[in-house]
Amino acid sequence: MGDDEAVSREDYVAKADGVCGTYQVRLSRIPRPVTGDPAELGVFLKRALPIAREQNETLADLEKPTDEQTRDQVEQLLALLDQEIDFNDAAQKAADAGERAALNNALQQAAAVSAEAGQIAEQLGFVVCARRA
């Protein structure tokens, strides 16, 4: 699709929510950590991060809305989702190394970015993509 083909906010949100739904199903199949053990969290993140990266790449490949304000919000959301993955990647590495302080710091940063991404997703009208795990 070229830039001359209009993509409405509603069309974009519908397509992106479909993408998020598909990947949330895949992520839900990974057993969640049940203890506070960093190693258990590290194993979870090691399995979840490739799926989250693939989701972000798929979202980034979607044709963006033609409305400039909406496009800017989408770009901001995509950047935040990438930051969230970076912080979770740092958390996974800290968990593997048994560095609890670094793990907690990375998780706090990931949670803050996730909350901000969730707010933007809600503003855009997302339903599925606004649900932050």
Q: What is the pLDDT of residue 105?
A: 98
Q: Which of 32, 61, 49 is nearest to 89 (CA)?
A: 49
| Domain residue extents for the chain | 9-124
pLDDT digits (tens, 9 = 90+) for 74-122: 999 999 999 999 999 999 999 999 999 999 999 999 999 999 999 999 9
Confidence of residue 132 (pLDDT cuts 50, 70, 90): low
SS (H, E, C) 60-82: HHCCCCCCHHHHHHHHHHHHHHH
Provide the pLDDT for residue 1.
41
pTM over 0.85: yes
* Per-residue pLDDT reduced to its tens digit, 31-70: 999 988 999 999 999 999 999 999 999 999 999 999 999 9
62: CB partners within 8 A, 6+ apart: 12, 15, 16, 19
pLDDT at 6: 78
Residue (of 63, 85, 64, 83) closest to 73 by Cα position: 64
Are 41 and 95 in contact by the 8 Å Cβ rule? The answer is yes
- Taking the C-alpha atoms of residue 128 and residue 58, their distance in angstroms, rounded to an integer, is 15
